[in-house]
Amino acid sequence: MFVRVAVPVPLGQAFTYSVPEATKVAPVRGARVLVEFGKRKLFGVVLDVSPTAGDEVEPAKLKPVLAVIDTEPVVKSELLDFLLELARYYLAPIGEVLRLALPALERGSLEDLAEQGLLAPKARAVGRVVQVAVASAGASAPETLAGAALAVWQHLSEKEAVPIGDLEKLHKGARRTIKKLAELGLCHIERREQVSANATAEFSPDQRPELTEAQARAVAALTEALDQRTPRAFLLDGVTASGKTEVYLHAAEHCLKQGKGAIVLVPEIALTPQLTARFRARLGDAIAIVHSGLGNKERLHMWKQLQKGAFKVAVGARSALFAPVTDLALICVDEEHDGSFKQEEGVRYNARDMALLRAHRAEAVAVLGSATPSLSSEAAVRSGKMTRLRLPARANQKAVLPRVTVVDLKRVGAGPSGDRFLSLPLYRALERCLGAGEQAILFLNRRGFAPSLVCEGCGNFIECPQCSVAMTLHRARGERLVCHYCDYARARTETCPRCGSDRLTEEGVGTERVEEQLGKAFPKARIGRLDRDVAAGAKSERVLARMRRGEIDILVGTQMVTKGHDLPSVTLVGVLNADAALSLPDFRAAERCFHLLVQVAGRAGRGDKPGEVLIQTRQPEHPAVALAAQHDVPGFTEREMRERRELGYPPFARLALIKLDALDAAVAEREATRLAALARSLATPVISVVGPAPAPLARLRNRYRFRFMVRGSDRAALRKVLLGLARAKPRGDVRVAIDVDPVSML
């Protein structure tokens, strides 16, 4: 017997191994095995089992499988086939792709391998192995059994399997007694993984609200598709607070009634607790939370519950796409427009796009929801690949879309605080909001105190020594300069490293400074901050919980405050600087800015009181700003689609960004030129190659970065070029990454 195994190495192929005849457990497709790769021992996943080794290899030269870890597949057939296709699409090493779906190795398996001398005992594993006493089937106690032995036996016969440590607490000397019972054949001792408790929060069942007419139509369309059991894709196009989550809940509930499973994706870990609470309140406690913020132990527990079908619904960020949900029938992607669904390192997949693929392969229903649908989803609807379901009004009839005012910072000055970022209209709006006992959100996509320090003598910005970016001043935990790209940090300098001048000025505004100045301007207000410095990942729920309890009057935050949070008491939203999103060198800059403005505006007026939004900008005439102020999603979409079509950008073309970096700029540039020439030689007339050129962020972590773009309307022709580049071995210390369907152009 021979197996083809995917090992976790950056190589685009699987490797064939022989299976020794003495192997106790026969390997199956999707199971893990221990193999020797070079001089290392690695865990791989079996892709195929075959009686022949194939024509390209000599069986005698093949290395044997050292051990079979799993008796059953850890990656079931549906998920494995999907991962293989994902690897092909993104030209990613299959071993690296499979790691996205694999659970951690359990300690019991590791100890077994260590006892066989196959693996060092220090290898990492999850879980705790305990010794348990197991009553022998059909055994009965002899009449001579008495005292402690009889008591232990009676306890054991009732429970069948009891941890010996627990018995020791109940009966002194239980370990010796168990050995005696084992000698009599009444029980035997096993090592078992300690079962984790269900890592869930408390919840209270909720009342099902009455659906609006539009919600009822959407639910009817989804349940009909689920009943037909054919792959369908829908775009749930609903304004902010239109009740998209309620539609997901009804669809998931229908799945559970059919005995089927569902996956619900959100763009940020911060949104997971809120959504999970809604699902548990409606569907019960058997909801798995899946995201990268979990520890290995919690992740393994969730994986086990899903694998055996105890949990049928998985909720989480992009990694939840790889959850082993049994009988998968539904995948919902909330805030589908959000760029956070794209993984920017390692396997560069887009969870939104791959959700459509997994649903199609599993013959499931996919639902992409957004108040500001991405242009790619809009194009899919127009081409007939997706069906649009509209939610045109807010679910709460008293909650109307907020009134939006654009504040032109070229014409309007600062308010009484004297700070430019608190214009007079915004200052007065905050006064009214606080006076009415209501809450406000201020959005600024810059964390820290000041984005840079600049020398007034020579104009030099204090730059990161490892990256070609200005360092950000932070004050919350002592004055430090921090690079937001490589996390290099140092104490604040008092002199310019270029000219020696001590005239250093804090340039720009970050969330720390806004928080500080708000405290001075409104001393009685309770100010909170939500950004990566105070609440990364799941920790953000603590800040949001305080907001829901009314313990914060003004919440200042970065993009984390814009996404999907339901805060009914917020009546005022202020966008401090809309221009920051427009200044990026990216063809999607206008689209991102528009999405941000509409989404953050949607946090206002979700309750019974009307909402107000102020957008501060120096470009009030820009379409992304002007149309966001009018809540005109169709108008912006039409304009942007027209420009993309003229320029040949997605969704009217396919893109791949080839990224190169090296310690030496000349070496990186030379290799970029060589690979770009290779791409041109492989290209057909429908494919164009743009570049190479230095990346906008030219140096990162002491490596110089170049890039070029391959663009075309024909997917097969583009793939041919990319395969040629993937097979070309880079020279020197140059690292090459092929980013298919890039989201960030930096």
Query: How is the chain split into domains, by residue range?
Result: 2-115, 129-193, 213-391, 403-450+508-643, 654-740
**Exposed/middle/buried for 554, CB within 10 Å: 0-12, 13-18, 19+?**
buried
Q: What gap in Å lies between CA 151 and CA 181, rounded to an integer?
A: 11
Say yes or no to pLDDT of 661 above 50: yes
Say yes or no to pLDDT of 173 above 50: yes
User: 654-740: CATH homologous superfamily?
Assistant: Ribosomal protein S10 (3.30.70.600)
From 126-130, 171-175, 221-225, 311-315, the region with the lowest mean pLDDT: 126-130
- For residue 526, count other CB atoms closer than 10 A to its CB: 15
Q: What is the pLDDT of residue 199?
A: 41
CB 570 within 8 A of CB 531: no
Q: For the sheet containing 287-290, what is the strand order?
A: 287-290, 313-316, 261-265, 328-334, 365-370, 232-238, 387-391
Q: In percent, how much of the chain has pLDDT > 90?
A: 52
Say yes or no to pLDDT of 106 above 70: no
CATH code for the domain defined by 213-391: 3.40.50.300
CATH code for the domain defined by 2-115: 3.40.1440.60
User: 564 pLDDT band (50/70/90 cuts)?
Assistant: low
695 three-class SS: strand
Q: In percent, how much of the chain has pLDDT > 70?
A: 94
Say yes or no to pLDDT of 15 above 80: yes
Cα–Cα distance list, 487 to 94, 198, 483 (Å): 30, 35, 5
Q: What gap in Å lies between CA 326 and CA 448, rounded to an integer?
A: 44
Where b means 16+ CB within 10 Å and e means fewer, 88-103 reads ebbbbbbbbbbbbbbb
Q: What is the pLDDT of residue 689?
A: 95
User: 235 pLDDT band (50/70/90 cuts)?
Assistant: very high
Q: What is the pLDDT of residue 532?
A: 82
**For the chain, the helix, strand and coil percentages under 3-state DSSP, each to the nearest 5:** 35, 25, 40
Q: What is the pLDDT of residue 247?
A: 96
Mean pLDDT of 676-684: 95
Pick the CATH number of 129-193 from 1.10.10, 1.25.40, 3.40.50, 1.10.3470: 1.10.10
Domains 213-391 and 403-450+508-643 share a fold: yes
User: 107 pLDDT band (50/70/90 cuts)?
Assistant: low
Q: What is the pLDDT of residue 220?
A: 96
CB 522 within 8 A of CB 430: yes
Say yes or no to pLDDT of 195 above 50: no
User: 120 pLDDT band (50/70/90 cuts)?
Assistant: low
Q: What gap in Å lies between CA 635 and CA 120, rounded to an integer?
A: 62
DSSP letter string over 399-428?
-PPPEEEEEETTT--B-TT--TTSBHHHHH
For residue 478, give the DSSP letter: B
Say yes or no to pLDDT of 181 above 80: yes
Query: Which tens digit of pLDDT belongs to each residue from 283-298?
Result: 888 888 888 777 777 8
Supply the pTM of this predicted model: 0.84
Say yes or no to pLDDT of 321 above 90: yes
Mean pLDDT of 51-77: 85
From 10-19, 52-61, 199-208, 353-362, the region with the lowest mean pLDDT: 199-208
User: 201 pLDDT band (50/70/90 cuts)?
Assistant: very low
Give the list of residues 6+ apart from residue 552 with CB closer than 8 angstroms, or none: 439, 526, 527, 528, 543, 546
Q: What is the pLDDT of residue 52?
A: 84
Residue whose C-alpha is closest to residue 99's, from 352, 360, 451, 343: 343
Query: Which tens digit of pLDDT belongs to each residue from 355-402?
Result: 999 999 999 999 999 999 999 999 999 999 999 999 998 888 777 788
Mean pLDDT of 397-414: 87
Q: What is the pLDDT of residue 202?
A: 46
What would be the CATH architecture of the domain defined by 403-450+508-643? 3-Layer(aba) Sandwich (3.40)
Residue whose C-alpha is closest to residue 505's, from 482, 473, 467, 478: 473
Say yes or no to pLDDT of 127 above 70: no
Say yes or no to pLDDT of 256 above 80: yes
Say yes or no to pLDDT of 708 above 80: yes
Q: What is the pLDDT of residue 111?
A: 62
Q: What is the pLDDT of residue 11?
A: 84
User: 706 pLDDT band (50/70/90 cuts)?
Assistant: very high
Give the list of residues 6+ apart from residue 309 with CB closer than 8 angstroms, or none: 261, 326, 327
Mean pLDDT of 609-623: 93
Q: Considering the chain, what is the average pLDDT of its residues?
A: 88
Name the one residue in this structure whose structure tokens are 């939370």. Answer: 289
Q: What is the pLDDT of residue 198?
A: 40
Say yes or no to pLDDT of 51 above 50: yes
More confident of the two residues 489 and 191: 489
Say yes or no to pLDDT of 193 above 70: no
Residue whose C-alpha is closest to residue 468's, from 665, 744, 667: 665
User: 233 pLDDT band (50/70/90 cuts)?
Assistant: very high
Q: What gap in Å lies between CA 354 and CA 83, rounded to an integer?
A: 10
Say yes or no to pLDDT of 331 above 80: yes
Say yes or no to pLDDT of 745 above 60: yes
